[in-house]
Amino acid sequence: KPGEQKHPKEPSSLQCMHLAVVACGDRLEETLIMLKSAVLFSNRRLCFHIFAEDSLKPEFEKKLKEWPSSYTKKFESNFYPITFSVGNAQEWKKLFKPCAAQRLFLPVILKDVDSLLYVDTDVLFLRPIDDIWQLLREFNSTQLAAMAPEHEIPKIGWYSRFARHPFYGTTGVNSGVMLMNLTRIRSTHFKNSLIPGGLTWEEMLYPLYQKYKNYITWGDQDLLNIIFYFNPECLYVFPCQWNYRPDHCMYGSNCRGAEEDGVSILHGNRGVYHDDKQPTFKALYEVIRDFPFEDNLFQSLYYPLQSKFLDTVHTLCGRIPQVFLKQIEKTMKKVYENRVIVYLGANHRY
């Protein structure tokens, strides 16, 4: 348009939004539903980096190929075995949940990837990944990773009450959704409690684990908290609606960002997608799981979700359905406009 500033075209390596996940044991379905939620709403192309046990890879490939071509063309999949470049592999595998420590090694393994969004398998996207990807542009010159606080209220937060090791800020951070500039991580020397001169990311991991292994409860998340305790200038903290967990509503609503803008990324930790303790979270998981790809989003996803929420009003989380519905409704309207209105307008003959 006249007078509009022209922006240089992004290099092809930056046109893909990189999403990493680690899946072991019985996490196949959960991981596929997470990937489905990512593909349903995102605009730009996605590059999946799936770290999985060898036995799971064929099933992943089979299931992803069954998706309609209109969706499979929106992403590419890369598979990796579970590997640890330093220390004892068996120790790393047993740290907290099976294979979870693999995320600590992403900067080492994905040497050609500049930036990355890591998520746990029990995450659901309720808006395009494009939106959280934009937060990379908000990093200042020292920031190289972004996470949300573990809790909003220190007096009921886990780290502020029980942690026996250093942790970031007043409530610690939750690593279930972690945005990373891998290039910066690889080139930084991190302050630590081991060597005054600083260590690279890879050099630091195993000695840090050896020093604190008897004091950590949440495995790799605790190690990340320790790292950013000593290097707070390296962390960008994004608000709770980008990593919304049962803790944000099961004791009463305490995520102001979600109250105002809606939940952007849902994190169903504690297995709440698979039991009846938090039916609101379970309802969201089941509706996205059961949604037929080619169906109308409002008829086959949004309306069933509204109906399921009526059965959850007896819970504290179920009393605030608008918090869960706001972003997903907004996202679906945009998808509808892009796929229907814009398409019809472009093909309409006068």
Q: What is the pLDDT of residue 217?
A: 82
pTM tops 0.75: yes
Q: What is the pLDDT of residue 350?
A: 42
Contacts of 7 (CB under 8 A, 6+ apart): none
Rounded CA-CA distance 118/179 in Å is 6
User: What is the CATH code for 17-238?
Assistant: 3.90.550.10
Count of Cβ atoms closer than 10 Å to residue 318 Cβ: 20
Category of 126 on φ-ψ map: left (φ > 0), alpha (ψ -120 to 50) or beta: alpha
Amino acid in position 225: N
Q: What is the pLDDT of residue 214?
A: 85
Residue by residue, DSSP assigns 206-250 as HHHHHHHTTT-SSTHHHHHHHHHHH-GGGEEEPPGGGSB-GGGTB
Q: What is the pLDDT of residue 12?
A: 42
Q: What is the pLDDT of residue 348?
A: 52
Category of 291 on φ-ψ map: left (φ > 0), alpha (ψ -120 to 50) or beta: beta
The answer to whether the CB of 157 falls within 8 A of the CB of 167 is: no
Kindly give the confidence (pLDDT) of every residue in the chain, 350 residues in length, as a single tens digit, with 9 standing for 90 and above.
Answer: 334 333 334 444 458 999 999 998 899 999 999 999 999 999 999 999 999 999 999 999 999 999 999 999 999 999 999 888 776 677 777 675 668 789 999 999 999 999 999 999 999 999 999 999 999 999 999 999 999 999 888 777 788 887 888 988 999 999 999 999 999 999 999 998 888 789 999 999 988 888 988 888 877 899 999 999 999 999 999 999 999 999 999 988 999 999 999 999 999 998 999 999 999 999 999 999 999 998 888 899 999 999 999 999 999 999 999 999 999 999 888 877 776 665 555 555 44
Q: Report domain extents, the chain.
A: 17-238, 253-344
Token readout for 187 is 């080139």
Choose among 318, 324, 251, 288: nearest CA to 30: 288
Q: What is the pLDDT of residue 195?
A: 83
